[in-house]
Amino acid sequence: MRRFTTRQLALDAMLAAMVAVLGYVSLDFTSIKITFESVPILIGALLFGPADGAAIGLVGTLVYQLLRYGVSATTALWILPYVLCGLLVGWYAGRHKFDLTQGQTLAVVVLAELMVTVLNTGVIYVDSKLYGYYTPALITGALALRLAVCVGKALVYAFALPPLLRAVSRRER
Per-residue pLDDT of the chain (173 residues; tens, 9 = 90+): 566 688 889 999 999 999 999 998 988 886 788 899 999 999 999 999 999 999 999 999 999 999 999 999 999 999 999 999 999 999 999 999 999 998 999 999 999 999 999 999 999 999 999 999 988 887 888 888 989 999 999 999 988 999 988 887 766 54
Q: What is the pLDDT of residue 134?
A: 87
pLDDT score for 171: 60
Rounded to 5°, the CA angle 156-87-9 comes to 95
pLDDT for position 48 = 94
What pLDDT does 3 receive? 67
Domain ranges of the chain: 6-172
Alpha carbon distance 29, 26 (integer Å): 10
Q: List CB contacts of 103: < 8 A, sequence separation 6 or more.
A: none
The architecture CATH gives domain 6-172 = Orthogonal Bundle (1.10)
- Residue 173 is predicted with a pLDDT of 47
Sign of the torsion formed by the C-alpha atoms of 159, 31, 83 and 37: positive
> What is residue 141's predicted lDDT score, i.e. its pLDDT?
84
Question: What is the pLDDT at residue 2?
Answer: 65
Cα(115)–Cα(49) distance, integer angstroms: 18
Are 82 and 115 in contact, with CB atoms under 8 Å apart? no
Output the pTM of the full model. 0.92
Residues 19 and 40: beta-carbon distance below 8 Å: yes
